[in-house]
Chains A and B, each alone.
Chain A
Amino acid sequence: MEVTLAFVIGGLYAAGIYLMMRRSIVKLIIGLALLGHAANLLIFTIGRLVRGAPPIIDHGKTHLIGQFADPVPEALILTAIVIGFGVSAFAIVLIWRSHETVGTDDLDEMRSTDSFD
């Protein structure tokens, strides 16, 4: 079952990185979002997959018994999702501000850096 997800992760990474390298800032944000999904799935899959056994203790029991999904990556992903949301909210504002200031969404127009030529 990890096999399918391995390919999904690969596809998400490829698409995310490709979009990050576009010149349009809008695509860049979308790329960042795709990478976020890829990362979450990566953590999830690498923590091993289990079908139909959420890490919830049954009533009357005191601990998890038998096969259960690893709770640690799940906790980590929850953290990552929330942080990811904060980051993308910030990203959107930053990009909007840049767009208003610079007046383009073409990143190649933004290079007032080392200028020797």
Chain B
Amino acid sequence: MLLAVVSGFAAALFAPFIHRRLPRYSGWLFATLPAGLFVYFVSFSGRIAEAEPPRFAYTWLGSLGIDLTFHVDGLSLLFALLIAAIGALVIVYSGSYLAGHAEQGIFFSHMLAFMASMLGLVLADNAIVLFIFWELTSLSSYFLIGFDHRRAGARHAALQALLVTGLGGLALLAGLILMGSVFGTLEISQWMLTGDAIRFHVLYLPIVLLIAGAAFTKSAQIPFHFWLPNAMEAPAPVSTYLHSATMVKAGIYLLARLNPVLGDTVMWSALVTTFGAATMVTGAYLALVHVDLKRILAYTTISALGMMTMLLGIGTPIAIQACVVFLLAHALYKGALFLVAGAIDHATGVRDATRLGGLFGQMPVVAIAGLVAALSSAGVPPHLGFVGKELVYQALSEHLLNAILLGAMLLTSISFVAVAGVVGYRPFFEGMRDVAREPHPPGLSLCLGPALLAALGLIIGVAPGLVEHWLVAPAASAIGFQPVAVELALWHGFHYNLLLTLFAFATGMFVYSRWDGFRAVCTSLDASASFGPARGYDLLLTATSAAARATTRILQSGHLHFYLLTIVVTAIALIGGSLLTQHLPLGVSRWSDVRIHEFVLAVLVLAATVLVVRARKLITAVVSLGVVGYGVALFFLFFSAPDLAMTQFAIESLSVLLLVLVLFRLPEIERYSRTSERVRDAVPALIFGGLMTILVLTVTALSREARLAPFFAEHSYPDAKGMNVVNVILVDFRGLDTMGEITVLSIAAIGVFSLLKLFLKGKRESEGNP
């Protein structure tokens, strides 16, 4: 099983090389992989109809609860078969669709990688593995949509698709992690057994919203639908494979997969049904407004996805059954129609439906395939599309809000009929074309895909028994998590649903005949472009970028003092904040202990400090700084630290000398700042100083147990034979630290040296060649 999933990635790795060797037959060659996988998956059909679905586990990261687990139930199988079968046809098709394209090898590579990701997605049992493959489909679809990267439109569309579905992907991750934390396991098949645990959990609502968000973005539900029509920038085989048959159905797959766990609540069905129905109607309407064949198909796809979402929201056995049948029917006819549109585009270079006509003579096979698929999509008997629609009507009529939903469905059906005419009839059989180029007849590989898919739709429609037991029933059972008996039939007897179908057909024909007029009216009414979700997406991007710029300008002003001020203010907030909550023993009674000479010295040091701050001349500042330093040394001397006092004297003298030497070369102190700026800086500085004073007072007011000092007092002489404890600490007990200290000094020396060297060298160079 792992091999089946990974083989696509492996093939993707070598595809460009193989293609370079065999450019003419590579399409057929690569198609053998999905074809083989198809056969492999068919072999599962017998097993899953009878017993427990087979499960495959490969150890990966067990300690985090992630292993590579796959399982094949009816739902997975249905998707896997569609992915493999349509994959094979599409790859054959693109062999000649993109023949001679410089990057065809890379194209195959992306396609195969996408196929493998999609297979992994529908077969994964571990939630995180599912997520990984989900993201991989987004990523590979990004490259496929942007395949024609020389056009800005394609790049923009690819990025848009990636951002929208990527956003959904992270919602998915969040949702799955939350579900994992609720269930305590990441295996989806385990979740099924204890679905009730989550429906009453606090996290149920966020989980449903996150999962629905993921599914809605991937399956282009309102208000995230806008990326799908734009993704039609992709070559036709990509649109066929990703945007009708497989990837966009990943959202449907997710909803179906998690239906047993999350479904069956008012919340779930209200959310999913509403969004599904709204998407269905909107897509159906927008499909009639456009003239580009692929865009029309994209909007009907959105509509169909909405229908499936709606059915999953309803969630009754008959609705689930309708969803499965319709999904199959849609994959077959929409796949065929996209391939037909691609073939037309390939032959004539035109996709504008108003400029196409009378192509039957040039491409009879494609024309017939297109017509048959279109009839299936219109729901005309004896096609599978008809079987599916009948079931949908039946499912809706049992629903509480049947009037509204049936009305929506009727509108959608009308639109589908009209669109079927525009896409499947008009280009071939009606009017004259207005095409610059003389169309050339398509070859075998361009005809094979559409013909086979359309034929399958017809055959299964005539004899639905072919799929009902081994394909539809297990899939429906998996979604409902209970055995579902499936009886598919073309003819259900005379039922009022049939009247609806007939009405839809008649009205649809009428709309088709008045299509041009209808479009004109719609276009004049259409103001949605200026404030639709697509516009929202653009606005969001612009606003984010503007906000980012504003933040940058405020936070990264480049002013050093602003950076420092931030640190100081934060430190004040941190320290002051915790000071407020503490009991503060200031111990001011200790005033009495102050000796006069200490007090005088303190005043002297503080006065010198003020002088340093106020100094107008550099030399005054340096001298005052020296006074402060010597004052500090005196403090050390007063309070029993002779070593410190000596060091401080020495270092202070050295520092002053150094400062004088270098500062001599710098300009005099200048006053750059205004009074207001000085006040702004002085206030936090004084607060910080005050806080430090309070801190010292409180900390020293408390007694504490000395832990280190007694050890050194005890051991200095016996262990290290030294009388001066400070020295012993430095050179013996903490020799390591002293060693580090010396290293720091030497680094400072190296630093001084190399900075000067580099600088002088650079200066010489720039003077040498100005």
Partner-B contacts on A (CB < 8 A): 1-15, 17-27, 29-30, 33-34, 37-38, 40-42, 44-46, 48-59, 61-64, 68-72, 74-75, 77-79, 81-90, 92-97, 99-101, 105-108, 110-114, 116-117
| Cβ of B54 under 8 Å from chain A | no
| Cβ of B401 under 8 Å from chain A | no
Compute how far the CA of A40 lies from the CA of B729 in the bound complex, rounded to whole angstroms. Answer: 18
Least Cβ–Cβ distance between B640 and chain A, in angstroms: 4
Q: Are A81 and B621 in contact (CB under 8 A)?
A: no
Q: Are A107 and B621 in contact (CB under 8 A)?
A: no
Q: Are A75 and B726 in contact (CB under 8 A)?
A: yes
Q: Are B564 and A21 in contact (CB under 8 A)?
A: yes
| Cβ of B714 under 8 Å from chain A | yes
B659-689 contacts to A, CB under 8 A, are 659, 662-663, 665-667, 669-670, 672-673, 681-682, 684-686, 688-689
| Cβ of B553 under 8 Å from chain A | yes
Compute how far the CA of A79 lies from the CA of B565 in the bound complex, rounded to whole angstroms. Answer: 28
Interface of A is mostly: helix
Compute how far the CA of A51 lies from the CA of B204 in the bound complex, rounded to whole angstroms. Answer: 68
Q: Are A51 and B588 in contact (CB under 8 A)?
A: no
The residues of A that contact B565 with a CB separation of less than 8 Å are 21
Q: Are B609 and A111 in contact (CB under 8 A)?
A: no
Least Cβ–Cβ distance between B733 and chain A, in angstroms: 9
Q: Are B663 and A114 in contact (CB under 8 A)?
A: no
Q: Are B685 and A8 in contact (CB under 8 A)?
A: no
Q: A5-B602, A55-B640, A116-B552 are in contact. Are A15 and B726 (CB under 8 A)?
A: no
The residues of B that contact A93 with a CB separation of less than 8 Å are 662, 751-752, 755-756
Compute how far the CA of A13 lies from the CA of B662 in the bound complex, rounded to whole angstroms. Answer: 25
The residues of B that contact A113 with a CB separation of less than 8 Å are 556, 558
| Cβ of B539 under 8 Å from chain A | no
**Could you name 16 residue pairs across A and B whose Cβ atoms are closer than 8 Å?**
A3-B593, A8-B602, A11-B605, A12-B609, A14-B688, A26-B663, A34-B628, A46-B699, A58-B723, A63-B713, A71-B709, A77-B644, A85-B651, A108-B672, A111-B557, A112-B558
Partner among B553, B669, B712, B756 whose Cβ is within 8 Å of the Cβ of A97: B756
Compute how far the CA of A33 lies from the CA of B127 in the bound complex, rounded to whole angstroms. Answer: 58
Least Cβ–Cβ distance between B752 and chain A, in angstroms: 5
Interface centre among B658, B667, B709 (most CB of A within 10 A): B709
Q: Are A8 and B594 in contact (CB under 8 A)?
A: no
Pick the 8 closest A-B CB pairs, nearest first. A111-B558, A14-B689, A10-B693, A86-B748, A69-B640, A64-B713, A113-B558, A18-B685
The residues of B that contact A45 with a CB separation of less than 8 Å are 696, 700
Q: Taking CB as reference atom, which chain B residue is nearest A59?
A: B723
Interface centre among A3, A5, A45, A64 (most CB of B within 10 A): A3
The residues of A that contact B666 with a CB separation of less than 8 Å are 25-26, 95-96, 99, 105
| Cβ of B573 under 8 Å from chain A | no
Q: Are B669 and A83 in contact (CB under 8 A)?
A: no
Compute how far the CA of A63 lies from the CA of B722 in the bound complex, rounded to whole angstroms. Answer: 10
Please classify how large the interface on chain B is, using the bins under 10, 10 to 19, 20 to 34, 35 or more. 35 or more
- What does the 1/0 interface line of B425-463 toward A look like (CB < 8 Å)? 000000000000000000000000000000000000000
The residues of B that contact A14 with a CB separation of less than 8 Å are 685-686, 688-690
Q: Taking CB as reference atom, which chain A residue is nearest B708?
A: A72
Partner-A contacts on B (CB < 8 A): 549, 552-553, 556-561, 564-565, 568, 587-588, 590-591, 593-595, 598-599, 602, 605-606, 609-610, 612-613, 618, 621-622, 625, 628-629, 632, 635-636, 638-644, 647-648, 651, 654-655, 658-659, 662-663, 665-667, 669-670, 672-673, 681-682, 684-686, 688-690, 692-693, 696-697, 699-700, 706, 708-709, 712-718, 723-726, 729-730, 734, 737-738, 741, 744-745, 747-749, 751-752, 755-756, 759, 763
Least Cβ–Cβ distance between B561 and chain A, in angstroms: 4
Q: A6-B697, A37-B628, A44-B644 are in contact. Are A21 and B602 (CB under 8 A)?
A: no
Q: Taking CB as reference atom, which chain A residue is nearest B733?
A: A75
Partner among B629, B643, B662, B738 whose Cβ is within 8 Å of the Cβ of A92: B662
Least Cβ–Cβ distance between B530 and chain A, in angstroms: 29
The residues of A that contact B621 with a CB separation of less than 8 Å are 26-27, 30
The residues of A that contact B708 with a CB separation of less than 8 Å are 72
Least Cβ–Cβ distance between B7 and chain A, in angstroms: 48
Q: A50-B640, A69-B640 are in contact. Are A75 and B729 (CB under 8 A)?
A: yes
Compute how far the CA of A5 lies from the CA of B763 in the bound complex, rounded to whole angstroms. Answer: 47
Q: Are B669 and A57 in contact (CB under 8 A)?
A: no
The residues of A that contact B599 with a CB separation of less than 8 Å are 4
The residues of B that contact A13 with a CB separation of less than 8 Å are 685, 688-689, 692
Compute how far the CA of A117 lies from the CA of B552 in the bound complex, rounded to whole angstroms. Answer: 11
Q: Are A117 and B553 in contact (CB under 8 A)?
A: yes
The residues of B that contact A71 with a CB separation of less than 8 Å are 709, 712-713, 725-726, 729
Q: Are B559 and A108 in contact (CB under 8 A)?
A: yes
Q: A14-B685, A24-B669, A82-B651 are in contact. Are A7 and B602 (CB under 8 A)?
A: yes
Least Cβ–Cβ distance between A75 and chain B, in angstroms: 4
Q: Are B556 and A114 in contact (CB under 8 A)?
A: yes
Q: Are A30 and B723 in contact (CB under 8 A)?
A: no
Least Cβ–Cβ distance between A111 and chain B, in angstroms: 3
Interface centre among A1, A59, A112 (most CB of B within 10 A): A1
Compute how far the CA of A52 lies from the CA of B729 in the bound complex, rounded to whole angstroms. Answer: 20
Q: A24-B670, A72-B708 are in contact. Are A88 and B684 (CB under 8 A)?
A: no
Interface centre among B602, B666, B741 (most CB of A within 10 A): B666
Given A20-B564, A63-B715, list of 16 further CB < 8 A pairs?
A3-B588, A5-B696, A15-B612, A26-B666, A33-B625, A45-B696, A63-B713, A63-B714, A69-B640, A77-B641, A78-B647, A79-B738, A92-B659, A111-B557, A113-B556, A116-B549
Q: A15-B685, A69-B641, A92-B658 are in contact. Are A62 and B718 (CB under 8 A)?
A: yes
Q: A42-B696, A56-B725 are in contact. Are A49 and B658 (CB under 8 A)?
A: no
Compute how far the CA of A40 lies from the CA of B631 in the bound complex, rounded to whole angstroms. Answer: 12
Compute how far the CA of A40 lies from the CA of B651 in the bound complex, rounded to whole angstroms. Answer: 13
Q: Taking CB as reference atom, which chain B residue is nearest A23?
A: B672
Compute how far the CA of A69 lies from the CA of B556 in the bound complex, rounded to whole angstroms. Answer: 47
Q: A64-B713, A81-B644, A87-B748 are in contact. Are A21 and B669 (CB under 8 A)?
A: no
